[in-house]
């Protein structure tokens, strides 16, 4: 797993992808922070809640080549014939993407320090927010990895992931329009926005943590199954 | 005691309706170099992919050093170094980074630096060690692929067409390397070049349409197949007289004139009877008596395509006689003749020698410019 992880981290920073993702995160979080700064609020929750849609649209860039590139270059033949488990291949890639994602949010720590120059900020709220964005990221990254494992083309993977992100974003809007109670209930239950906003509102609910973690686990598992399935095709 | 390093039993692989691998069984002993020979699409790569655990078989088992590739993948894969048809390279890495990555990936326990350096020296890639793989030529990429397979010094090396894309000098180097590796490794290498397999391998398996149609040493293979070899002779002398003379030589079955090659010089194909003794000295003597100079004389060596045709025909005949020989299967063979026709586009002579070599089923066939004398 470590070998894959190290390679993927390197790959992110040899290609522009790692930099692009980090710059996008820093740029938008900085923009939202400057807005909040001008209002004089010491709470970064605003920044985090605004970052929701940015995360949705940047993560496909982060995950698009993770699995598809291996297939295209036929490196999967080396990976799958090495004495290493399929799950550690997938997890290595997952954690590499998570680390880049986390670096993208390193800017918020700087903002927190800027705030602490004026007032002492609430660190617990900050870490709650950070945990929220990490959980959201892990769920979305695992979906992205799964989509990437379905195709040989990075572009197809990216477009499909964008489509899924769009769906996730519009799910709450649909739920409002549709009047069938069962559909509404389901939409509310899977609503990424609702569950993520709980974190930015300062509510720490275990069910949300479990939701995002199990979501990530399911899609990572499905990715492993995809690799396995390829052998039997 | 002979250790069976690779045991393959009743391997089948089905892709939809296509049977890519059809009941392939063989064993490879420790330290043996086995050549896998077959035309494109014969199932060589699929078989190798199954042996290395990249693909799963539809049914059948593969054991590496006693470990089943499906039940004990970690132990089995640890013993395999695999060079796939297309070397599995990350283009944005340097050779150094890539080999270190593979070193980590395979969880090799040797001291890192000397091990990687030794392999680089072996396959001669020290001079590109710090270059991006993207910028390497095909030959160098192939060698990095071989280096990758050697990392961890695995007992079994599986090389899928290792010399593709290399220049002649490199091909010789790599062949020597494989021979050298064969001293303490078990090697399977695939190729569609007969001479390569002959040069390197102690044993050859010929595979076509997913079936093993021959499993023998290269010498036996060409000996058994070349008993009734035809000869090509270029003789200066009157055409009809020479042909008549040749026909009177004991052991000659048929003589075909291919036409004039130089002024007054004609080329003939002489077909001996099956199992006839060597007719060449007699032909030489008879011609010498008549003072007809023999300008060229060669036995028509079997090319891979011809060996295939032979084996196909043998198998077909066996089938017709209802002999339960394991290499007979009707549908596997029917399309093969057409396939090998492609290779016959080269020259007229070759096309002709091919059809004469293959006389059993279609001896009645006459080509336009082939004049029966």
Interval B79-134: pLDDT, tens: 999 999 899 999 999 999 999 999 999 999 999 999 999 999 988 899 999 999 99
Q: Does the pLDDT value for residue B369 go beyond 50? A: no
pLDDT for B37 equals 85
* CA–CA distance, B317 with B314 (Å, rounded to integer): 5
Q: How far apart are CA B148 and CA B152, in angstroms?
A: 9
Q: State how far residue B255 is from chain A, nearest Cα, in angstroms.
A: 53
Q: Search chain A and give the residue with CA nearest B108.
A: A83
Compute the average pLDDT of residues A113-141: 92
Put simply, the answer to whether A78 touches B105 (Cβ < 8 Å) is yes
CA distances to A21, B119, B187 from B153, rounded to whole Å, are 40, 9, 12
Mean pLDDT of B274-289: 82
Instruction: Tell me the two tokens of residue B18.
Output: 């296509």
> Is the predicted pLDDT of residue A92 greater than 90, yes or no?
yes
Report CB contact under 8 Å: B52, A81. Answer: yes
The answer to whether B53 contacts A80, with C-beta atoms less than 8 Å apart, is: yes
Q: Is the pLDDT of residue B323 over 50?
A: no
Q: Which range has the worst mean pLDDT, B184-193, B307-316, B349-358?
A: B349-358
In the stretch 142-171 of chain B, residues with CB closer than 8 A to chain A read 148
- Candidates B55, B84, B92; nearest CB to A11: B92
Substitution target in B59, B88, B159 with the highest count of A β-carbons within 10 Å is B88
Residue B223 pLDDT: 65
Do B359 and B271 meet the contact criterion of CB atoms below 8 Å apart?
yes
Taking an 8 Å cut-off on Cβ atoms, the answer to whether A81 and B74 are in contact is no
Chain B: residue nearest A231 by CA? B55
Average per-residue pLDDT in chain A? Answer: 91
User: Does A136 score more than 90 pLDDT?
Assistant: yes
Q: What is the mean pLDDT of residues A144-163?
A: 94
Q: CA B206, B209, B212 angle in degrees (round to 5)?
A: 35
**Is residue B334 over pLDDT 50?**
no
Which residues of A lie closer than 8 Å to B, measured between beta carbons?
Answer: 2-4, 6-7, 10-11, 14-15, 73-85, 231-233
What does the alpha-carbon distance between residue B164 and residue B323 come to, in Å, rounded to a whole number? 38
Instruction: Round the average pLDDT of chain B to a whole number and report it.
Output: 79
The dihedral built from the CA positions of residue A107, A108, A111 and A112, taken in this order, carries a sign that is negative
Most confident segment among A153-162, A176-185, B233-242, B311-320: A153-162
Beta bridge partners of B236: B265
Q: For the segment B141-154, what is each residue's pLDDT rounded down to a tens digit? A: 999 999 999 999 99
Residue B227 pLDDT grade (very low, low, confident, very high; cuts 50, 70, 90): low
List of E strands, chain B: 4-15, 18-29, 33-37, 59-64, 67-68, 80-83, 156-160, 186-191, 203-208, 211-216, 231-236, 252-262, 265-272, 294-299, 371-372
A198 versus B315: the higher-pLDDT residue is A198
**Token pair 């086995």: residue:** B34
A25's CB contacts (< 8 A; 6+ apart) are A51, A54, A55, A58, A101, A104, A105, A107
Does the pLDDT of residue B315 top 80, yes or no? Answer: no
Task: Note whether A78 contacts B55, CB cutoff 8 Å.
Answer: no
Q: What is the pLDDT of residues B32-54, one digit of tens each?
A: 999 988 877 888 899 999 999 99
- pLDDT over 50 at A186, yes or no: yes
C-beta of residue B123 within 8 angstroms of C-beta of residue B146: yes
The answer to whether the CB atoms of A76 and B88 lie below 8 A apart is yes
Distance CA B54, CA B33 (A): 22
pTM of the model: 0.79
Closest CA to A218 of A158, A141, A151, A163: A141
More reliable by pLDDT, A117 or B220: A117
At residue B186, the pLDDT reads: 93
Residue B88 to residue A6, Cβ atoms within 8 A: no
Q: Per-residue pLDDT for B258 more than 60?
A: yes
């Amino acid at each position: 797993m470590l070998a894959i992880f190290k390679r993927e981290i390197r790959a992110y920073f040899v290609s522009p992808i790692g930099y692009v993702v980090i710059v996008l995160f820093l740029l938008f979080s900085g923009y939202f922070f400057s807005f909040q700064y001008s209002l004089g609020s010491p709470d970064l929750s605003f920044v985090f809640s605004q970052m929701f849609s940015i995360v949705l649209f940047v993560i496909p860039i982060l995950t698009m080549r993770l699995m598809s590139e291996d297939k295209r270059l036929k490196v999967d033949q080396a990976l799958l014939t090495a004495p290493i488990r399929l799950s550690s291949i997938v997890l290595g890639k997952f954690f590499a993407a998570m680390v880049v994602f986390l670096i993208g949010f390193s800017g918020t720590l700087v903002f927190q320090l800027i705030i602490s120059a004026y007032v002492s900020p609430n660190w617990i709220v900050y870490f709650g927010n950070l945990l929220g964005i990490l959980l959201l990221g892990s769920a979305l990254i695992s979906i992205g990895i799964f989509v990437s494992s379905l195709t040989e083309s990075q572009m197809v993977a990216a477009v499909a992931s964008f489509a899924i992100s769009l769906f996730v974003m519009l799910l709450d809007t649909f739920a409002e329009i549709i009047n069938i109670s069962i559909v509404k209930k389901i939409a509310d239950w899977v609503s990424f926005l609702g569950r993520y906003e709980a974190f930015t509102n300062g509510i720490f609910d275990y069910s949300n943590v479990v939701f995002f973690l199990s979501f990530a686990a399911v899609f990572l598992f499905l990715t492993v199954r995809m690799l396995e399935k390829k052998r039997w095709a | 005691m002979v250790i069976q390093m690779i045991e393959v039993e009743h391997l089948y692989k089905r892709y939809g309706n296509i049977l890519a691998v059809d009941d392939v069984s063989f064993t490879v002993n420790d330290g043996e170099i086995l050549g896998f020979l077959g035309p494109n699409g014969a199932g060589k790569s699929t078989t190798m992919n199954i042996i290395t655990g990249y693909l799963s078989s539809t049914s059948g088992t593969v054991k590496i050093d006693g470990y089943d590739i499906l039940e004990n993948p970690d132990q089995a894969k640890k013993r395999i170094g695999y060079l796939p048809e297309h070397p599995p390279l990350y283009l944005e890495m340097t050779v150094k980074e890539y080999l270190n990555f593979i070193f980590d990936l395979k969880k090799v326990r040797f001291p890192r630096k000397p091990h990687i350096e030794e392999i680089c020296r072996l396959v001669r890639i020290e001079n590109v060690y710090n270059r991006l793989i993207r910028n390497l030529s095909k030959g160098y990429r192939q060698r990095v692929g071989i280096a990758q397979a050697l990392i961890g010094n695995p007992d079994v090396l599986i090389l899928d067409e290792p010399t593709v894309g290399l220049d002649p000098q490199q091909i010789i180097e790599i062949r020597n390397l494989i021979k050298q590796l064969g001293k303490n490794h078990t090697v399977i290498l695939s190729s569609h070049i007969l001479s390569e397999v002959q040069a390197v391998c102690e044993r050859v398996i010929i595979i076509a349409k997913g079936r093993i149609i021959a499993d023998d040493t290269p010498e036996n293979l060409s000996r058994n197949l070349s008993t009734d070899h035809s000869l090509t002779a270029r003789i200066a002398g009157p055409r009809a007289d020479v042909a008549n003379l040749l026909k009177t030589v004991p052991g000659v079955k048929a003589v075909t004139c291919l036409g004039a090659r130089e002024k007054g010089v004609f080329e003939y194909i002489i077909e001996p009877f099956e199992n006839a003794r060597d007719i060449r000295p007699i032909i030489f003597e008879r011609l010498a008596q008549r003072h007809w100079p023999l300008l060229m004389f060669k036995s028509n060596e079997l090319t891979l395509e011809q060996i295939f045709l032979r084996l196909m025909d043998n198998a077909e005949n066996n089938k017709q006689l209802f002999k339960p020989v394991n290499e007979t299967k009707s549908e596997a063979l029917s399309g093969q003749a057409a396939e090998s026709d492609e290779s016959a586009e080269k020259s007229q002579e070759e096309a002709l020698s091919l059809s004469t070599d293959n006389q059993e089923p279609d001896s009645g066939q006459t080509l336009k410019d082939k004049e029966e004398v």
